[in-house]
Amino acid sequence: MISHPDAGKSTLTEALALHARVINEAGHIHGKAGRKSTVSDWMDIEKARGISISSAALQFEYQGSVINLVDTPGHADFSEDTYRVLAAVDSAVMLVDAAKGMEPQTLKLFEVCRHRRIPVLTVINKWDRPGHDALQLMDEVFAKTGLKPTPLTWPVGIAGDFRGVLDRRTGNMVEFARTAGGATLATMTTLTPDEALAKHDVHWQTAVEESELLSMDDGDLDLEAYRAHRATPVLFGSAVLNFGVAQLLDALLEIAPAPDERLDESGKPREVGAPFSGFVFKVQAGMDSAHRDRLAYIRVCSGTFERGGVVTHSASKKPFATKYAQQVFGQDRQTVDVAFPGDVVGLVNASALRVGDSLYVDEFVQFPPIPSFAPEHFAVARALDSGRYKQFRRGIEQLEQEGVVQVLRSDLRGDQAPVLAAVGPMQFEVATHRMKGEMGAEISLDRLQYTLARRTTKEWVAELDRQSGVEVLLRGDGEWLALFADTWRLGRTQRDFPDAVLEPLVASAD
Ligand code: G4P
């Protein structure tokens, strides 16, 4: 589930779970500050700011199928985290706010999905509130993403007057009725075209006419184009009123791809029926005070995961016992005994596991690495209380392993003053907050003036380091990063040392 912040991801996640009857009433599990609770947010900062930083994996059954839903942080500062999550999914649901249309993060995420070849279903959300014209929104999607919108449903009533949707494949109307605050399932009534016309008159007529226009313009579902990332099926809804949510679940079952073979690092497929394999796409700790531990999230790619079984860890080739495996659902956790391709399993206190590591049974497999983004913000971290240096070091290490921030070190700066590197400055806030609250080591951060990083090699370290306005540090994953104050400084270095290795890193918009 992806979107620009505030388009309604948490609300829709909750509504989906409600429809699948995981929870009986939306909003009773967990909460952001000052508003109704949602299933998938948990950290203090998230609550205070009302944004989601971490992603939750939510599994539910719907009409005989299992859906694994991962929520992603919406804020651009956490796009690296979103990228990791997207490495683990088979399809994405993009939420667009009907009043805001295509926002910057919407566009970036569409681009990431294209890059990773993830099919995208689009939901135009908040149709209960005044917003853009539906046809205009379709034009905007096409103009800005190059994806052909192929609506499955079409709204009856303009934004702000949401009566129901025209199911473009049956030709019937699904009429929605509000329940108190959208807290329980919305009632749906199916009306034949005649009944819809009698009851909704011009609103129905407009919907039918617009739907015909779409058909004339190649706007009908094309499964192959959707799977090949040339088209995006569209649904209209209101997450807060639970309108259109059943239609989204039905569409997911019907057209979203089920788990399929995955290519390993060398391009060789691992069939879903092969012995167990999976990879770590996220490591996270400190999700709530009751569980101060570290979870490695695995996406199962093939075979059957069995708790208690022994698998092999690709990076060390060592056996790894899967005794503590859990499913995480908001604050709730359940022990998982078996899991299948497409499932997400949280392995507890699996301290050897890093993002990108693979696990397997039998034949070796290493799935493609998940790239780190090019950091653009840098700050030196120091323990405020030098007596707590041990906690400081352990805490920084932990944040590094989770990918909360990247950690850069050099002999010159020493272990007491590592450089934290981030894609967005809010990552620093999270790091500071967690160092104090969880690791027991308050830190100070001194921002550095660098804005650019390039990958270099060991033989260039000394030479580059001598230049003013340039510093070379070693990142936790073994990459040497040369930091520059600005493009001018980078350009000058490139001119002065035309042979120097200075490669761009993956940018957040890739
Ligand atoms: P996010 O996870 O994508 O950041 O979005 P989130 O679900 O937190 O929703 C952001 C705001 O949009 C919330 O309002 C939420 O209630 C509202 N919202 C979500 N879906 C709909 C919808 O379909 N229609 C309308 N009208 N609003 C919707 P808030 O002001 O932050 O909180 P609240 O006090 O309204 O709950």
User: What pLDDT is stored for residue 477 in this prediction?
Assistant: 82
| Residue 36: per-residue pLDDT | 40
pLDDT at 254: 95
Atom of ligand 1 nearest to the CA of 71: 2
DSSP category for residue 258: P
325-329 vs 406-409, strand pairing mode: unpaired
What pTM, to 2 d.p., does this model score? 0.82
Q: How far is CA 191 from CA 30, 167, 172, 233, 249, in A?
A: 36, 10, 6, 23, 20
Q: Is 232 in the pocket of ligand 1 (CB under 6 A)?
A: no
The finding on whether 390 has its CB within 6 A of some atom of ligand 1 is no
128 lines ligand 1 (CB under 6 A): yes
Amino acid letter for position 137: L
The residue to mutate among 71, 125, 240, having the most atoms of ligand 1 within 8 angstroms of its beta carbon, is 240
Domain extents for the chain?
9-255, 262-360, 377-504
Domain pair 9-255 / 262-360, same fold:
yes
pLDDT tens sequence across 360-371 = 999 999 999 887
What one-character-per-residue DSSP string does 337-366 give?
Answer: SEE-TT-EEEEET-TT--TT-EEESSS---
pLDDT value, residue 351: 76
Residues 6 or more apart in contact with residue 413 via CB below 8 angstroms:
380, 419, 473
Spell out, as residue ranges, where the chain has pLDDT lower than 70.
21-56, 73-77, 180-185, 286-293, 325-334, 349, 507-510
The CATH fold assigned to 9-255 is Rossmann fold (3.40.50)
Q: Indicate whether residue 40 lines ligand 1 (CB < 6 A).
A: no
Ligand 1 geometric centre to CA of 10 (Å): 8
Neighbours of 192 (CB within 10 A): 12
Query: CATH code for 377-504?
Result: 3.30.70.3280
Please tell me the predicted confidence (pLDDT) of residue 74.
Answer: 61
pLDDT at 233: 98
Q: Pull the structure tokens for residue 410.
A: 């050099």
pLDDT score of 53 = 40
Superfamily of 262-360 according to CATH: P-loop containing nucleotide triphosphate hydrolases (3.40.50.300)
- Report which secondary-structure segment, H or E, holds 318: strand 318-321
Q: Is 259 a pocket residue for ligand 1 (Cβ < 6 Å)? A: no
